[in-house]
Chain A
Amino acid sequence: MSYQPRIIGFLCNWCSYAGADMAGTSRMSYPPNIRIIRVPCTGRLDPLFVAKAFQEGADGVLVAGCHPGDCHYAEGNYHARRRYALLHLLLEFLGIEPERIRLEWVSASEGKRFTQLVTDFTEQVARLGPCQAVGGQS
Chain B
Amino acid sequence: MDLSQAIRDKARELLETGAVKCVIGYETGTDGINARPAFIYEAAEVDRLIFDETCGHNLATYLLHHRAENIAVVVKPCDSRAINLLHGEHQIERDKVYIIGVVCPGVVGRQWGVKGRQLLPACQACTDRNPVVYDYLVGEPVAEGAPAPAPPLPEVEDLERMPPEERCQFWRREFERCIRCYACRQACPGCQCTECFVERLEPEWVGIRIDAPQNWMWHTIRAFHLAGRCIECQACRRACPVDIRLDLLNHKLAWEVAQLFNFRPGMTAEALFPLATFVRDEKLGVGEWASS
CA–CA, A55 to B218, complex, Å? 11
CA–CA, A56 to B224, complex, Å? 19
* Interface size grouping (class) on chain A: 35 or more
- B213 near A79 (CB under 8 angstroms)? no
Q: Find B167's partner among A51, A55, A88, A95 (CB 8 Å cutoff).
A: A95
A-B contact pairs, 16 of them (CB 8 A): A48-B197, A55-B216, A69-B280, A79-B275, A81-B278, A82-B274, A82-B275, A84-B288, A85-B284, A87-B224, A90-B249, A93-B160, A95-B167, A96-B164, A101-B287, A133-B164
CA–CA, A81 to B278, complex, Å? 9
Least Cβ–Cβ distance between A91 and chain B, in angstroms: 7
- B220 near A86 (CB under 8 angstroms)? no
| Interface residue ranges of A38-84 to B (CB < 8 Å) | 47-48, 51-52, 55-56, 68-69, 75, 78-79, 81-84
| B289: A residues at CB distance < 8 A | 102-104
* Interface size grouping (class) on chain B: 35 or more
- B260 near A51 (CB under 8 angstroms)? no
Check A137/B224 contact, CB under 8 A, given A89-B252, A93-B252.
no
Q: Find A47's partner among B211, B216, B224 (CB 8 Å cutoff).
A: B224
- B286 near A78 (CB under 8 angstroms)? no
Check A78/B280 contact, CB under 8 A, given A90-B220, A95-B164, A104-B291.
yes
Does B228 make an interface contact (CB < 8 A)? yes
CA–CA, A68 to B274, complex, Å? 18
CA–CA, A48 to B171, complex, Å? 19
| B223: A residues at CB distance < 8 A | 90
Least Cβ–Cβ distance between B159 and chain A, in angstroms: 7
Can you name the residue of chain A whose Cβ is closest to the Cβ of B197?
A: A48
B residues neighboring A (CB under 8 Å): 159-160, 164-172, 197, 205, 211-214, 216-217, 220-221, 223-224, 227-228, 249, 252-253, 256-257, 260-261, 274-275, 278-280, 282, 284, 286-289, 291
| B261: A residues at CB distance < 8 A | 82
CA–CA, A81 to B287, complex, Å? 7
Check A85/B260 contact, CB under 8 A, given A51-B217, A79-B278.
yes
- B280 near A94 (CB under 8 angstroms)? no
Chain A CB count within 10 A is highest, among B205, B212, B213, B274, for B213
Least Cβ–Cβ distance between A93 and chain B, in angstroms: 5
Given contacts A103-B288, A133-B168, list 14 more A-B pairs with CB under 8 A. Answer: A48-B205, A55-B216, A55-B217, A78-B279, A81-B287, A81-B288, A83-B275, A86-B228, A86-B257, A90-B253, A93-B249, A95-B164, A95-B165, A133-B171
Least Cβ–Cβ distance between B158 and chain A, in angstroms: 12
Does A105 make an interface contact (CB < 8 A)? yes
| B171: A residues at CB distance < 8 A | 94-95, 133
